[in-house]
Amino acid sequence: MVWQMKGQLNEAVAEYRKAVELNDDPYALALLGQADARAGQREEAQKILARLSDESKSRYVHAYSFALIHLALGDKEHAIDEMEQAYRDRADKDIAYIKVDPLLDGLRGNPRFEALVQKVVGPKPVR
């Protein structure tokens, strides 16, 4: 993820590919899919999205994983739909960092997303 945050998508994609080879984890696959989409490899990202969808029929795939790829493909509304599903699934570890996750920056400012952020993090305590 550091490579991606530094804007070095080719390096990020290479590392995500290694992670997928080493670990049969849907989240690693989602990270690869969203990086592929951001790197202009939309067809590869679509294939990964389809693969995750197939895998979700036989094992749990977090909605957050789908959201990352949809967002990277430019489908913000579908990404928010998936984030809302992650919230309904009580997938705490996935959306606990919703307010600060840089992979979700493309959703910031969207009223639906901001409402979801408030549901997840709640109001700040008064001091």
Q: What is the structure's pLDDT at 122?
A: 80
pLDDT less than 50: residues of the chain: none
Q: What is the structure's pLDDT at 5?
A: 92
For residue 126, being part of any structural domain is answered with no
User: Whole domain around residue 21: which residue ranges?
Assistant: 2-121
CA 73 vs CA 78, 96, 123: distances in Å: 10, 23, 31
Give me the number of domains the chain comprises: 1
- Alpha-carbon gap, residue 86 to 122, rounded angstroms: 16
- CA 47 to chain centroid, in Å, comes to 16
Q: What is the structure's pLDDT at 24?
A: 85
Which amino acid belongs to residue 94?
D
For residue 70, being part of any structural domain is answered with yes
Query: Could you tell me the two tokens for 112?
Result: 């639906």
For residue 35, being part of any structural domain is answered with yes
Q: What is the structure's pLDDT at 127?
A: 67
